[in-house]
């Protein structure tokens, strides 16, 4: 497994990452990591690698876009000095284009999204041991659906940023697509964005596979 002993793993993003985590810093007692994939990642790391004592911090904030991440990057990432950083952002960047089509000031176009994510990765990379970039997703199996097609564009942007910075890329959409070959989307996310327990476990599994977690 690639995350070394004594590492601090910081996971940042929007509501899918937040999941009710403690504020201002998501770590500590009583569901401080939230009730989503971050908590599952932390628990599974502790169970499989108790001797490594990996510290997990959840810095997700509901409703945020990559613009919001840029505004809080120093405080919520650089100042906390993580060894490993995981970023899952982009769902709201796309969603606002569809649920608030007339409020264009809230839309983050793909060029801005990629450039901002690239700048954030560049700012954090020099002090990191590992960077994981997770693609945003939309739980719609039809790739010709308008919002799904747009989300795929942003996922490809994440892939390009990961390649430029030597980061680990996690294709969350592909993982959900495999699952949705058997299940209807609303069964794991009523709005096709916020997953239930099964969906969060899928995200945790995708992240852990990417960092070469040894399941057996």
Residue 179 lies in a domain: yes
The one catalytic residue among 15, 64, 86, 93: 15
Residue 158 lies in a domain: yes
User: What pTM did the predictor assign?
Assistant: 0.96
Rounded to an integer, what distance in angstroms lies between the CA atom of residue 97 and that of residue 120?
23
- For the cut 90, the answer to whether the pLDDT of residue 177 exceeds it is yes
The one catalytic residue among 14, 93, 152, 194: 194
Question: Can you say how many angstroms the Cα of residue 31 is from the centroid of all Cα atoms in its chain?
Answer: 19
Residue 3 lies in a domain: no
Is 93 marked active-site? no
Q: What is the CATH number of the domain that holds 106?
A: 3.40.50.1110
* Mean pLDDT score across all residues of the chain: 97
- For the cut 90, the answer to whether the pLDDT of residue 216 exceeds it is no
Rounded to an integer, what distance in angstroms lies between the CA atom of residue 75 and that of residue 185?
36
Read off the pLDDT of residues 64-119 as tens digits, 9 standing for 90 and up: 999 999 999 999 999 999 999 999 999 999 999 999 999 999 999 999 999 999 99
Question: ω before 113 within 30° of 0 (cis)?
Answer: no
Residue 194 lies in a domain: yes
User: How many structural domains are present in the chain?
Assistant: 1
Please enumerate in sequence order all residues whose Cβ is within 8 A of that of 123, keeping only pairs 6 or more positions apart, or say none.
73, 78
Residue 201 lies in a domain: yes
Is 23 marked active-site? no
Read off the pLDDT of residues 51-63 as tens digits, 9 standing for 90 and up: 999 999 999 999 9
The one catalytic residue among 31, 99, 191, 209: 191
Residue 2 lies in a domain: no
Is 191 marked active-site? yes
Domain housing 23: 8-210
């Amino acid at each position: 497994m690639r995350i070394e002993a004594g590492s601090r793993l910081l996971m940042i993003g929007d509501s899918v990452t937040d999941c009710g985590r403690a504020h201002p810093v998501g770590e500590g007692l009583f569901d401080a990591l939230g009730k989503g994939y971050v908590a599952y990642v932390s628990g599974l790391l502790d169970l499989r690698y108790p001797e490594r004592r990996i510290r997990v911090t959840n810095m997700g904030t509901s409703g945020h876009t990559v613009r919001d991440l840029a505004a809080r990057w120093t405080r919520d990432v650089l100042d906390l000095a993580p060894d490993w950083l995981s970023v899952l952002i982009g769902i709201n960047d796309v969603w606002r284009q569809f649920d608030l089509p007339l409020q264009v000031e809230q839309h983050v176009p793909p060029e801005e999204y990629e450039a901002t994510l690239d700048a954030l990765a560049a700012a954090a990379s020099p002090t990191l041991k590992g960077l994981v970039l997770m693609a945003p997703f939309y739980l719609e199996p039809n790739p010709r659906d308008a919002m799904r097609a747009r989300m795929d564009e942003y996922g490809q942007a994440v892939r390009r940023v990961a390649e430029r910075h030597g980061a680990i890329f996690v294709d969350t959409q592909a993982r959900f697509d495999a699952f949705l070959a058997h299940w209807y989307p609303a069964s794991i996310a009523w709005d096709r964005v916020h997953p239930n327990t099964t969906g969060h476990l899928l995200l945790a599994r995708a992240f852990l596979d990417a960092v070469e977690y040894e399941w057996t």
